[in-house]
Structure 1
Amino acid sequence: MTDLLLVTPPFVQPNCPYPATAYLKGYLGGKGFAVAQADLSVELIGAVFSEAFLCRIFDRYAESEDANIRRIHALRERYCTTVDAVTDFLRHGDDTLAHLICNGDYLPQAGRFAATEGLGDFFGTLGTTECAKYLCTLYLQDLSDFIRATVTDKFEIVRYGERIALAIDSFDRLEEELSSAPNPIEERMFGLLEAHLDATQPACVGFTVPFPGCLLSALRCAQYIRQHRPGIRIVMGGGYPSTELRSMSDKGIFRYIDYLVLDDGELPLERILTGGPLVHTYTADGYHEGEGTVTHLERGCPDFEGLPHRAYLSLMEVTNPMHRLWSDGRWNKMTLAHGCYWAKCAFCDTSLDYICRYESVPAARFVDWMERVMAQTGSRGFHFTDEAAPPKLLKEISIEILRRRLSVVWWTNIRFESGYTGDLCQLMASAGCIAVSGGLETASNRLLERMNKGVTVEQAALAMRNLCYAGIMVHTYLMYGFPTQTLQETVDSLEVVRQLFRAELVHSAFWHRYAMTVHSPSGAAPERYGVRRRNDRVAPFANNEVPFVENRGYDIRLAGESLREALAHYMYGNGLERPAHKWFAGKAPATTVDAALVADQLIRPDAARLYDEKARLVWTGIAERHTEEGLVLYGASGSKHLKFKPHETEFLLRILPAAADLDRRFTFAEAAEIFREYSDDSFVAFYLSKKWDVMRSYGLLQI
């Protein structure tokens, strides 16, 4: 008998577990509860893309007017005989199959393969395995098109019935869907769920619903449990209810579940399991606010035990190396700190707990958790899913990773602020950081100030420079349509982005249209941002986006299309010399941005070159060799012979071991004191010399 079965419903992501159930299992297991977890998302993907299921689907086919669907059906035998091998390959099974996949005649090809035109040179550089992943992803997308046309239009690899859950006023629309007969995909989902119920015999089942695209499947599962296991209590929580259902008055959902949890689920679930006073929980009787929270330290290490680690599929939906990180690779998802250390942006849900309550843990404790997770999953890759990872915490964790000599790979979300000096970025890269993502938003200083972003375009460009020079890939989120943004500012934003791509400071980006939400500062007081609410209506079920009225003076839809078209070219290195306003349909003003705005940041001195006697001196380099003329420094791919005066050589041989000892903090003040034992010259002058710059490039860092 299990106290609680935690379930990730279809569909979230196929390449790695969504971490919600693992965090809940880690906490509740530590409290003595018997907790199991299941990832129905990846299990159902594997079941759908299998020979047995596809043969069943092809047998249901009725003649289609769509030529592409007819083609896929005509190739049914090829699909049925290749699909198991394809999914096994995407699970990192037999990589030798990549050669056969790339030959061109192995995989049946339908409409999605039009995207392969002109990619020969790209994949010649990227490699056979990556090319095969991309082709297999197109293959699965073709099959997804067929499934949508013949089984249900709600199916996608990473979402299910999303359109139904988006901006849904009343639960009636969902209930209408739930009253229909299950389709073959849902029937297969029920079979997988039943197997877990049989194996665990839970007293309670909890569903995490992080996104709109898994609400319908979670409710379908709850409906099945209600009908076949009526004694089981059912809980639902996650990001979607925490943002969309906070003001819910429609009680229809409680015909399918018993509890709806808002915000972090650890304490609410503990109270439900023990019969204690409810906290942050809806029931059919209403909302129970309760008292108490669980700190990030108390939440502890996620527990991934019991998840099907060999079942996850690495897809490659786009060829951009930064975009691939979201769908390619087996990442352990962990959170460095709860909440956002800034939590002031006007467009962000800063009133909600997951943003406004910032808490971190000591670096040593967090790296303990990393080592525990590596042992559980067998993976050294980490995606830190923070709202914005603080530079100070990244510094401390990087030092701890290096101190333990761990070989790990990680990436995270940041704010492009001045704290990301060249030396900090190099330290992060030495500790395994390969990529960061962060918001540049409107790329306009006036609007960045208006939205209280806390950075300027110049600061962001400088941070991007330091990250890129350290070999860390950069993705930036971009925004258009923020209240009072003019067409001139929209053109100027594109010009900033053009300059960033031309300077190779950004590897990928994504434009999204500003949406005003009820939990953001702009949604709470639209008038302060120059717009007004369209109405004050509160929907009985889901509420998130605030409709507002603004006199723009230009077509924002066309502007968005222009921005996306330009960006699509920039990410392939094309169109970077074309004037920004030329991408816009109709008459658009030329940019007013200084043509050297970004280029000027490339020559600005790094803040890490400003002498600070309180700063820590860290040596991350490979052991040096002493010669009669100085030192030979070794890098992973080369070496450098630096000539020093004898006293400088002796000084460096003295301080490098101290700076390499990451068990203690060795400061520049201590280094300066030691330098005086060898010379009456100025230590600061030596620090500012070109020789020291070379030492920095090999790992002598000011942190």
Structure 2
Amino acid sequence: MSGRRTPDVTLVFPPQWSPFQPALALPSLRAWLERAGHSVRVIDANIAFYEWLLSDDCVARLRGALDAASASTRDAYETFLGAAAAFRETILRVRRWQALKTLRTERLETYVAETYMSSRALDTYLHYVSHIAGGFKLSPYNFSIPGNSLRVADIESFLAHPPPLLMAFVALEVDRILEDRPRFVGLSCIGQEQLLFTLLFAKRLRERTSAPIIVGGTIFSRIFERGRLPAQWFRYVDVFVRNEGELPLEGILGLDPLDLGAGIARVPGVIYLKDGVPTSTAPAAPLKPDAIPVPDFDELPLESYLVGEITLPILASRGCYWGKCEFCHHGMVYGEKYSASSLDGIVAALDELEAKYGITSFAFNDEAVPPKVFRGLSSLLAQNRPRHFDFTGLLKFENYFQSEDFRNAREAGFRSLYIGLESASERVLDLMQKRSTSAVMVRNLADATAADIWTHCFVFFGFPGETEADAEETVSFLMSNSGIIGSFGAGTFSLEHNAPIMRRLAEFGVSVREAHADSIDVYYDYDVDRGIGPKRAIRWMEQLNEQSDGIPSYRAINWIPREHLLGLLSAGTVADLKRISIGCVDEGDAPLAMPLSTFTIDRKSAGHGRIVMNMLNGRTFALKGPLDVAFASVREAEAHLGDIEGAWPDLLTALRSGSGERASHQEDTRPI
């Protein structure tokens, strides 16, 4: 046991989640509970997972997995495993910019290029890990098992026989969680991508400790709402917390961990097993933002996130000020209530976080920053320099906004805004209860762009009642307004349990397909009796993505993870980032700024010559004769591709195109 005080609770954020930014849930809970007098330890097991995936220990275990495979399979992945250290160097190189803030503007092109290479190399690395380990598919944004099944039987099978690589990490992390013998252990599951890992952690913890295990976050609460929370999962979990966790967790920590059942029914907002049936207590009262202390990020390894600029999440409000959209059920977290922080409270929190952590970049994670808060905060900060912050946040189109609001926002530090456009058809927007107009959308976008603020628009196809003409209107809007839209993300409509539209399915002509009896999916398969159905919606999404690929500014930005964008914009203008990013993407998987060290080498296959792997796409090929000799000489000199453009044009062509002789035994390793 370590020398630290035994925690009342150890809070854990399990994989799989983005490795680019800390989540807000646990720092907020920690601040609340410690103010109430409880000792709290926080562990970000997600970023620990990424650190471990890049470690020698993980690579050794992957080698062990190959030992049991056929000779041809082993051969196919040996180049990757031999290059693991080089992958690690390329992926982690982006972190160095955290300590080079004063040089980012001066060296913007290098900063963008290294962020690009780090992101691409990480994608390739995770692809190979997934294929070698088997049994799962992992990316920075997703974790799934074969078939993407959400049936209880398949999940139970996964828990009974998890991939050995994952269990090796879970076992190590559970040892860390229990080293201080906490009275309670809490797991935060805020996304469906974390569900399987959360259950794996809970199962392993149950085997190792008698401490009660509590699971919070929205996913299990939504499963319970649908009536599909399996009673057998209480073998691993003592209590599930519904929605906001502050008051329920405070109530739980006041109970005797050895006799939890004696008082759990008096704790608000929890789900427990009563007579073999999952049962919920009444919800806790929603909290006001100004009643909540500033989040405490003390125990999070802020230097470990895979970004060049750390961004901390923050809230200016709880709930959604609009709260009318037919497709959205996000407000359930806050009991469908809304309240905003005071401007003084927001500024005080920003100042405290900057003073404590030396961080000036913040992401407002509100459902949408309230218009009056956006205007007031922007004006206040713009007028009170020399504060220097960089912000991003979500916004709704509003006639309320004037051009001055966006100019003040840019002066205050807003570099990017994420906006729910959803559809460009006013008829569909009225069906959604979004109530935006084309004129307001264009004006808001133009004003933000004129103020040098990046705008990202979310759109989706297939909202019930949408016609082909409506979908075409959305495509045309995005294609014709690329000058005032920085980027967009396209998807298709999802019919979520308890979303407002569920109360009016007949009115929208929606019929729900019967789900499998043991499915825990909180989204329904459905059909519509008019307009665009699910399959046609997918085709419209694909058509938009295909058409937008012809617009350089859209094509250039697709690679940038959302959590990287603010850091990149803090170092340059929107025009700078577009220009440099277009260069990266147009140069493909081997931009001229790419160090030759990003091509890993393997000399063991002498019959093939020098086998080279491009870490940005995982493609392997062989260099022979003069190309082999030339590559050896320039790689040792730590050159970049651009350095060999004049002296070694044939080598440059071979490396950029991957057109050297293919290493035939490597064919199956190229990522899809």
So what's the TM-score if we normalise by structure 1? 0.70
**Cα drift, residue 290 of structure 1:** 5.0
Secondary structure, in 3 states, of the residue corresponding to 1:352?
helix
Does 2:320 correspond to 1:296?
Answer: no
The aligned residue for residue 545 of structure 1 is 523
Alignment partner for residue 531 of structure 1, among 490, 504, 510? 510
Does 2:299 correspond to 1:306?
Answer: yes
**Cα drift, residue 125 of structure 1:** 10
Q: Distance in 2 between matches of 1:68 and 1:498?
A: 45
The aligned residue for residue 140 of structure 2 is 158
Q: Deviations over 1:261-298 (max 9, x none)?
A: 11100011011111362212111112222553332222
The aligned residue for residue 245 of structure 1 is 224
The aligned residue for residue 278 of structure 1 is 267
Q: Distance in 2 between matches of 1:302 and 1:255?
A: 32
Q: Does the 8 A contact of 2:312 with 2:363 survive in 1? A: yes
Secondary structure, in 3 states, of the residue corresponding to 2:317?
coil
Q: Distance in 2 between matches of 1:462 and 1:355?
A: 33
Larger relative contact order (Cα-Cα within 8 Å, sequence gap ≥ 6): 2
Alignment partner for residue 220 of structure 1, among 175, 184, 200? 200
Does 2:493 correspond to 1:514?
Answer: yes
AA aligned opposite 1:242: S
**Cα drift, residue 159 of structure 1:** 5.2
Does 2:26 correspond to 1:21?
Answer: yes
Q: Does the 8 A contact of 2:127 with 2:139 survive in 1? A: no
Secondary structure, in 3 states, of the residue corresponding to 1:525?
helix
Structure 1, 349-358 or 374-383: larger mean CA deviation: 349-358
The aligned residue for residue 56 of structure 2 is 51
Q: Distance in 2 between matches of 1:244 and 1:381?
A: 34
AA aligned opposite 1:527: A
The aligned residue for residue 621 of structure 2 is none
Change (3 A) 1:204 1:165: farther
Q: Distance in 2 between matches of 1:15 and 1:350?
A: 23
Q: Distance in 2 between matches of 1:94 and 1:17?
A: 15
Alignment of 1:338-417 (within 5 A): 338-349=318-329, 352-354=332-334, 356-402=336-382, 403=384, 405-417=386-398
Q: Does the 8 A contact of 2:9 with 2:186 survive in 1? A: yes
The aligned residue for residue 610 of structure 1 is none
Q: Distance in 1 between matches of 2:499 and 2:24?
A: 25
Change (3 A) 1:439 1:93: closer
Q: Distance in 2 between matches of 1:237 and 1:377?
A: 27
Q: Distance in 1 between matches of 2:335 and 2:272?
A: 25
Q: Rg bigger for which structure?
A: 1
Secondary structure, in 3 states, of the residue corresponding to 2:400?
coil
Q: Does the 8 A contact of 2:20 with 2:305 survive in 1? A: yes
Secondary structure, in 3 states, of the residue corresponding to 1:206?
strand
Q: Deviations over 1:608-628 (max 9, x none)?
A: xxxxxxxxxxxxxxxxxxxxx
Structure 1: which 5+ residue stretches go unaligned? Answer: 97-123, 315-327, 576-703
The aligned residue for residue 593 of structure 2 is none
Alignment partner for residue 204 of structure 1, among 184, 197, 222? 184
Q: Distance in 2 between matches of 1:177 and 1:336?
A: 39
Q: Distance in 2 between matches of 1:163 and 1:567?
A: 31
Q: Distance in 2 between matches of 1:302 and 1:288?
A: 27
Alignment of 1:8-157 (within 5 A): 8-61=13-66, 72-77=77-82, 79-92=83-96, 127-157=109-139
Q: Deviations over 1:475-511 (max 9, x none)?
A: 000111111211122112211111111xx11010011
**Cα drift, residue 80 of structure 1:** 3.5
**Cα drift, residue 144 of structure 1:** 1.5
**Cα drift, residue 350 of structure 1:** 6.1
Q: Does the 8 A contact of 2:135 with 2:163 survive in 1? A: no
Q: Distance in 2 between matches of 1:562 and 1:352?
A: 33
CA-based RMSD of the aligned residues comes to: 2.9
Q: Does the 8 A contact of 1:350 with 1:521 survive in 2? A: no
AA aligned opposite 1:377: Y
Change (3 A) 1:55 1:129: farther
Change (3 A) 1:94 1:289: closer
Does 2:549 correspond to 1:560?
Answer: no
**Cα drift, residue 375 of structure 1:** 2.9
Q: Distance in 2 between matches of 1:356 and 1:225?
A: 34
Q: Distance in 2 between matches of 1:486 and 1:216?
A: 38
**Cα drift, residue 462 of structure 1:** 0.7
Q: Distance in 2 between matches of 1:236 and 1:126?
A: 42
The aligned residue for residue 594 of structure 2 is none
Change (3 A) 1:75 1:437: closer
**Cα drift, residue 249 of structure 1:** 4.8
Secondary structure, in 3 states, of the residue corresponding to 1:150?
helix
So what's the TM-score if we normalise by structure 2? 0.73
Change (3 A) 1:560 1:351: same
Change (3 A) 1:34 1:296: same
Q: Does the 8 A contact of 1:16 with 1:312 survive in 2? A: yes
Q: Does the 8 A contact of 2:393 with 2:418 survive in 1? A: yes
Structure 2: which 5+ residue stretches go unaligned? Answer: 1-5, 101-105, 256-262, 557-672
Q: How many residues align?
A: 529
Q: Does the 8 A contact of 2:242 with 2:283 survive in 1? A: no
Secondary structure, in 3 states, of the residue corresponding to 2:417?
strand
**Cα drift, residue 564 of structure 1:** 2.1
**Cα drift, residue 460 of structure 1:** 0.9
**Cα drift, residue 453 of structure 1:** 0.2
Q: Distance in 2 between matches of 1:63 and 1:194?
A: 28
Q: Distance in 1 between matches of 2:269 and 2:519?
A: 17
Q: Distance in 2 between matches of 1:464 and 1:66?
A: 57
Secondary structure, in 3 states, of the residue corresponding to 2:12?
strand
Q: Does the 8 A contact of 1:350 with 1:519 survive in 2? A: no
Query: How many percent of aligned residue pairs carry the same amino acid?
Result: 21
AA aligned opposite 1:256: Y
Q: Distance in 1 between matches of 2:322 and 2:283?
A: 27
Q: Does the 8 A contact of 1:162 with 1:212 survive in 2? A: no
AA aligned opposite 2:285: G
AA aligned opposite 1:9: P
AA aligned opposite 2:8: D
Q: Distance in 1 between matches of 2:432 and 2:80?
A: 53
Q: Distance in 2 between matches of 1:90 and 1:251?
A: 45
The aligned residue for residue 579 of structure 1 is none
Does 2:422 correspond to 1:441?
Answer: yes
Q: Does the 8 A contact of 2:513 with 2:525 survive in 1? A: yes
Q: Distance in 1 between matches of 2:128 and 2:224?
A: 34
Change (3 A) 1:68 1:427: farther
AA aligned opposite 2:513: R
Q: Does the 8 A contact of 1:12 with 1:213 survive in 2? A: yes
